[in-house]
Structure 1
Amino acid sequence: MAATHADKVHVFKEDVTRALGDATLKLAIDRTTVTAERKRAAALVDFPEFAEARRRGTAIKNHVVANLDHYLEQFERNALASGAHIHWAKDADEACAIVIRLCRAAGARSVTRAKSMLGEEIGLPHALAEAGIERVETDLAEHIIQLAGETPSHIIWPALHKTREQVSELFKAAHRDPHKVEEVEAMVESARRELRDRFMNADVGISGANFLLADSGAVCTVTNEGNAELTTTPPRVHIVTAGIEKLVPSMAHAMAMLRLLVRSATGADLTQYTTFHTGPRRAGDRDGPEEFHIVLVDNGRSRMLADHGLREMLRCIRCGACMNHCVVYRQIGGHAYGATYPGPMGAVLTPALEGVEKAKDLPHACTLNGRCQEVCPVSIPLPTLLRGWRDRSWKEGLVPQAMRTGLGLWRFVAERPRLYRLGSAVAVRAMRLFRRGGWIASLPLAKSWTAYRDMPAPAGRTFMEQLRDRERQGGRQP
């Protein structure tokens, strides 16, 4: 049976508390997300057509989702014609069982795996271990977290939570020929030496898919290291695991989506390696697998398709831009979410995949500031979808009684303007008693906020009081 993140004992508030208290984690997150945000912004300056490309990308994905049955049948037909084998999996357990069966049929003792969040979603690493099949992660970041015995904390940079100093210690402990100097280039070379013979000796290579091309049955993979090509080409058998929503109609549509994916994910114009795999090796080909298998995984996607409140999430192309710009993710990282997919997109996807009762805290881990929707390359209304989950949680009685009571009390006060203004006036003046140099380091009834950060001290008067003063002085702007 596949093991997923949902199987772990996960207490969201405890995990968040640990993350907020980890100064090294915050350093590691900032090093990557701040750079990613800056690079994306620069990439869009050089790509003035982004708004139109975004509109087209959204239309492409909407069209595919609305006609998913048609494109799945077309993809299967063309993939079979190319010599590929197609396997259908309704859930994580069935998908893992298919992959294990294929590995055993190939006599596989070891498999190499290129980074695939779908593989993480279905619990494939755990399933391979249970089957006694050695798994070698070939993506550099996945190699790092495999050595650490951890799960990805970001869908693009799985080891984002590790500093290079921590990576150095891991490599020195695990590599047969570790680096001798503390430089990134030397550490990368150490990983290359460690993985090279694993590429050439693997019996099976397993990859994910960024896009599935319906008109040709081709599978598109996008990487920056070339590890996917070494994972999929030398082994005798190549197995692809892909969600059924990964479809695009044609190569032209795939290229349109790639223009959005790469700029949104890494801020580059084009990823280093963009490869299209179409069936197994043919007569005259110099390399390639003898067998090519594609496992198409549903795992809750049909339910999302039928739920018009969640259907828009099927547009997601897994670029990670929403995480890089999320004020919550940038404070707590990915592991605190306790799910395969962290950040805003994960807070929407996880309740859909694992059930809202298991992930009821995640939709509330959001300020609803809207930055995720602003940067999403396919315009997914993430704040609206998160509010939808909050509504369901409330209606299904999953919101703790203390919060329900607190919101009821707030509503009582908010519906009475005079009482609300009186309470606000008292609160801002009381808070000034805890002010030190313009900041509040500790505040009764707000320990969760001030335990790991200082709160800006409010002005001595409420907004409404300041507004009235301005109006009396002849100004109309607060």
Structure 2
Amino acid sequence: MLKQDPLQYRELAAKAVQDKQLHKALGKLRDKFGRNAVNLYNQLSPEHDPRQDAKAVRRKIVDNLDVVLETLAANIRARGGHVHLAETGADAVEYCLGVAKRFQVRRVVKGKSMLSEEIHLNDALEAAGIETVETDLGEYIVQLKGEAPSHIIAPAIHYTREQVGELFAEKLGEPFTDDPPTLTAMARKALREKMLGADMGISGGNTACAETGHVTIVSNEGNIRMATTMPRVHVVLLGIEKIAATLEDHDILLRMLTRAAAGQKISTYVSYVGGPRLDEEPDGPEEFHLVLVDNGRSRILADPDFREVLHCVRCGGCLNVCPVYMAIGGHSYGSPYCGPIGAVFTPLTQGINTCHHLCQGETLCGACKQVCPVDNDLPRMLSLLRFKLANGDARWNVRPQSLPAKLVFGAWSVLMRHRRMYDAMSLLAGFCQRLLPRKNGWISRLPGPLGGWTRGRDFPPLAKKSFARRWARRNTTRRDA
């Protein structure tokens, strides 16, 4: 599996911005999922925004997370299921390996789980000699390729059907075709054989309901139902924050999740799991395990400035409208969670200094907040992360990143608050720009540290008259008339 590293962000992003095929694929994602979500939002009543209902639900749950977790665990156990609270990713992996050892598992089939990517579960299973097979079609494609997913809900969005055809011909020994139904049939045949011989199924969960003691899994493929019911044991990996307190709350979150994720009023398949099969049931696992994973989430929960990021329902909607993600794709982020949500969540869980490129690479345009089904203010949190990088923060073990940068932006802040100083500097900049090299009227190279702006593009020159001066003259002309 491709090793992901946030420190490679600049290098990988520089390559991705030149990848025309990637941009074409991501453009289709934006046009389909992004626009569909916006269209569904527009169909909702303008007098009542259900995103605010979802936001209120998530806030209430996160603020009372200890009680909700205890209720969920009690109801799962009452039906014969097992619940384990994993403080770290390593703890979660160790627990899964322990269950696999007890059942003498030789093959695991997995439903889609970003959390398993977060804790590197596949690598650990393979190292223990356990064959691990992804059953989600997109996840299966990237697994065959030896890559990580490039999108939260569309893992193989960066591939064309021709590339998938070549991959299947190489890995599955099938004749080449680029026909999607034929490719799907090839994958179905290969995966069906794997699922029939699997000893354990592992899946993620989109949300859980504490009141009823069940975990909900949504998908547009039927594979995950086979992966979670056919093997003798089923293990669900769930972040501690992905819970609804009541069935009413669960319904609100589920409907907003599917709207934002794929522009659907509801997904094709909605599965509810929460325990081993009963005596009168014909199928289902002999044992059911729910692994609730913390892995840094409690630390975020304790900080009122960042607690809001735990409201996220992992719909991937923010990726579908983010101009940065559309330019560089998911692999550039070096983390299972990419796009705007990854640019906040990953630094908080892996280190703000370590992952500083992620939060500094976003535009703060606000599109992510507009499409978020729970109205997460990601731009605010991205700005706060940058503030901590500039000033340091002992609580988050952040050291100031660049004193010169802090001084420059501090000076810019002062300049922006004093009109006369700003006008004077604008005149000076307008004069100095005459000395810079140009191409077709645009500045082709900026000096010193500013040169990064023109390394891959030309820069527009300052206008002869600023907007403020033109606006003032426009108003003066109107009054004279």
Matching of residues 97-176 of structure 1 within 5 Å? 97-176=94-173
Match of 1:305 in 2: 301
The CA deviation string for residues 332-390 of structure 1, in whole angstroms up to 9 with x for no partner, is 11111112211111111112111212112222122222111111111111111111111
Matched, 1:467 2:467: no
Describe the shift of the 1:162–1:332 C-alpha distance in structure 2 as closer, same or farther (beyond 3 A).
same
After alignment, is 224-233 or 155-164 more displaced? 155-164
> Which residue of the other structure, out of 64, 67, 72, is the alignment partner of 1:67?
64
Q: Distance in 2 between matches of 1:425 and 1:163?
A: 50
Partner of 2:405: 403
The whole-number CA distance in structure 1 between the counterparts of 2:172 and 2:325 is 32
Deviations 1:189-238 (A, max 9, x none): 22112211111111100001111111121111011111110110110110
Aligned AA (2:198): A
Post-superposition offset of 1:316: 0.5
**Aligned residue identity for 2:272:** F
Q: Specify whether residues 196 and 120 from structure 1 end up closer, same or farther in structure 2 by C-alpha distance, changes over 3 A only.
A: same
User: What is the one-letter code of the residue matched to 1:268?
Assistant: Q
CA distance in 2, matches of 1:313, 1:78: 27
Q: Does 1:194 align with 2:180?
A: no
Q: Distance in 2 between matches of 1:425 and 1:32?
A: 44
Whether the 8 Å contact between 1:328 and 1:365 is mirrored in structure 2 is yes
Deviation, structure 1 residue 133: 1.1
Q: Which one of 238, 241, 246 corresponds to residue 242 of structure 1? A: 238
Gap runs ≥5 in structure 2: 393-398
Tell me by how many angstroms 1:51 deviates: 4.5
Which of residues 223, 228, 241 in structure 1 aligns to 2:219? 223
Kindly tell me: are residues 50 and 132 of structure 1, through their superposed partners in 2, closer, same or farther at Cα, counting changes over 3 Å?
A: farther
Match status 1:387 vs 2:387: no
**Against the structure 1 CA distance between its residues 9 and 66, is the aligned structure 2 distance closer, same or farther, given a 3 Å change threshold?**
closer
* Structure 1 residue matching 2:62: 3-state secondary structure: helix
Matched, 1:77 2:74: yes
Worse-superposed segment, 230-239 or 367-376: 367-376
The residue aligned with 1:274 is: 270
**Aligned residue type for 2:293:** V
Instruction: Note the residue ranges of structure 1 that are not aligned, 5 or more in a row.
Output: none
Letter in 2 for 1:471: N
Give per-residue Cα distances to partners, 1:128-176, cap 9 Å, x unaligned. 1221211101111101110111111111111122232322221221113
Whether the 8 Å CA contact 1:29–1:161 is kept in 2: the answer is: yes
Shift of 1:266: 0.2
Structure-1 separation of matches of 2:177 and 2:94 = 43
Q: Match for 1:424: what amino acid?
A: S
Kept in 1, the 8 Å contact 2:200–2:232? The answer is yes
Partner of 1:19: 16
- Conserved? CA contact 1:339–1:346, under 8 Å: yes
In the superposition, the TM-score normalised over structure 2's length comes to 0.91
Cα 1:100/1:384, change in 2 over 3 Å: same
Instruction: Kindly provide the amino acid, as one letter, of the partner of residue 189 in structure 2.
Output: R
The CA RMSD measured in Å over matched residues stands at 2.5
**What corresponds to 1:37 in structure 2?**
34
Distance 1:275 1:428, change over 3 A: farther
Percent identity over the alignment? 39
Q: CA deviation at 1:461?
A: 2.2
Q: Is the 8 Å Cα contact of residues 425 and 461 (structure 1) preserved in structure 2?
A: no
218-227 vs 28-37, which deviates more?
Answer: 28-37
Q: Name the amino acid aligned to 1:191.
A: A
CA–CA separation in structure 1 for the residues paired with 2:306 and 2:42: 32
Provide, for residues 55-105 of structure 1, a one-character-per-residue CA deviation record: whole Å limited to 9, x for no partner: 211111111111111111111111001110111110000000001111111
Distance 1:408 1:40, change over 3 A: same
* Distance in 2 of aligned mates of 1:321 and 1:277: 25
Cα distance in 2 for partners of 1:320, 1:9 equals 19
Checking the alignment, whether the CA contact within 8 Å between 1:3 and 1:122 is kept in structure 2 is no
CA distance in 2, matches of 1:105, 1:408: 60
Deviation at 1:250, TM superposition (A): 2.6
Q: Distance in 2 between matches of 1:44 and 1:268?
A: 11
Measure, in 2, the Cα distance between the counterparts of 1:454 and 1:384: 30
- Report the CA distance shift for 1:393/1:166 in structure 2 as closer, same or farther (over 3 A): same
Equivalent pairs counted in the alignment come to 471
Structure 2 SS opposite 1:21? coil
- Is the CA contact 1:115–1:138 (under 8 Å) kept in the aligned structure 2? yes
1:245 counterpart SS class: coil
CA distance in 1, matches of 2:114, 2:47: 26
Q: Where does residue 199 of structure 2 map in the other structure?
A: 203
User: In structure 1, what residue type is equivalent to 2:405?
Assistant: M
1:346 counterpart letter in structure 2: G
CA distance in 1, matches of 2:272, 2:46: 25
Shift in Å at residue 329 of structure 1? Answer: 1.2
